[in-house]
Chains A and B, each alone.
Chain A
């Protein structure tokens, strides 16, 4: 009985001094405590890994699927970002106000035939002969064939392409023709008109194929002969076929 009372008294006393007592033991035990804690963590991790082995395989497969899905999503977002950038450029140039545009992506190129394949077709309201331009208002060509979901674009450098153009801010008119192999030239320019290298050519309203004011290219080389009734000039187009990714089709408003 006496022992029990003594024990209770000691315990009660220890409760009053528990903080210094515990602190002393924690301090003394800290190095061993730390070591054992680390060892416990490692051993427990090891056993957990073994226990989780089956789940890990499934989780790994799930994560791989998720990564693939995220990569696809990421690619789509990059695509949208580029599209957004192009649309912004077009918007800055006021293209949307001037024309009704349909954004299309180039999905195929046939340089030998001077043609492109785009991912918009009859379903998107495209028809034959609609003009195709870049976001910088550079004339690329016109639609030559329309399928349900795709269209073929005949570049202005195609041998079958010819349209009226004029020198920008001057009353010099001519006919721009394709030579094939991504080359084009301007013909039917009267001899009395003075062409200069570097002159910018834009579409004119005369031909009726393209709206006026679209950029065609700049004069690279002038071919003038007194024997010919008209003068000709080689043209460098403003677009780079290698960099064509997104285009606009001008649709009737």
Chain B
């Protein structure tokens, strides 16, 4: 539960920074999506059997949706699909020695 609360705080700050600070730094017309990077990293380095990455994807998607002009659920869906995809790949095809499989 503590981890989830921590994730909520982190993703809230990241979404806020994304919408207010990082929008000023466009590279080839695109803005770096730090929330997506964090979601990907959590899902890669987390054990495939744990769900924190999936929770994180929902939370970060929710906050990005709050600060975006797209229909609600757009980022939640994308992040959730990305997290599921990574989980699936890692569960079935990839083994990283220092990440324990439980």
Which residues of A are in contact with B by a Cβ distance under 8 Å? 7, 11-12, 14-15, 18, 21-22, 25, 29, 32-34, 36-37, 39-41, 43-44, 47
A7 and B62 alpha carbons, distance in the complex (Å)? 11
One of B20, B58, B72, B80 near A40 (C-beta < 8 A) = B20
Q: Which residues of A contact B73 (CB under 8 A)?
A: 11-12, 14-15
Q: In the complex, A22 Cα to B25 Cα: how many Å?
A: 24
Q: Which residues of A contact B24 (CB under 8 A)?
A: 40-41, 43-44
Identify A37's interface contact among B21, B76, B80, CB under 8 A.
B21
List 9 A-B pairs, Cβ < 8 Å.
A11-B76, A11-B77, A15-B71, A25-B66, A36-B16, A36-B20, A39-B21, A41-B24, A47-B25
Q: What is the distance, in angstroms, from A131's C-beta to the closest C-beta of chain B?
A: 73
Residue B19 CB within 8 A of the other chain: yes
The A interface, classified by DSSP as helix, strand, loop or mixed, is helix
Nearest CB of A to B76, in Å: 6
Give residues of chain B (41-91) contacting chain A, Cβ–Cβ below 8 Å.
Answer: 58, 66-67, 71-73, 76-77, 80
> With contacts A7-B58, A43-B24, A44-B25 known, is A36 near B72, CB below 8 A?
no
CB-defined contacts of A12 to chain B, threshold 8 Å:
73
Complex Cα gap A29–B19 (Å): 11
Check: B38 CB closer than 8 A to any chain A CB: no
Residue of A nearest to B69 (CB): A22
Residues on the A chain within 8 Å of B21, using CB:
36-37, 39-40, 43
Collect the chain B residues with CB atoms within 8 Å of residue A15's CB.
71-73
Assess the B66–A21 pair: CB atoms within 8 A. yes
Confirm or deny: B17 has a beta carbon within 8 angstroms of a beta carbon on chain A.
Answer: yes
Which chain A residues border B58 with CB–CB below 8 Å? 7
- A41–B80 Cα distance when bound, in Å, is 32
Give the residue of A21, A32, A47 whose beta carbon is less than 8 angstroms from that of B16. Answer: A32
In angstroms, how far is the closest chain A Cβ from the Cβ of B21?
A: 4
Closest residue of chain A to B71 (Cβ to Cβ) is: A15
- Known A-B contacts A22-B66, A37-B21, A41-B24; the reply to A11 vs B16 at CB < 8 A is no
Residues of chain A with a CB closer than 8 A to B76's CB = 7, 11
B66 A40 Cβ-Cβ under 8 A: no
Minimum distance in angstroms from B4 CB to a CB of chain A: 15
> Quick one: closest B residue to A25, CB to CB?
B66
Partner of B25, one of A14, A21, A40: A40
B22, CB-defined interface residue at 8 Å = yes
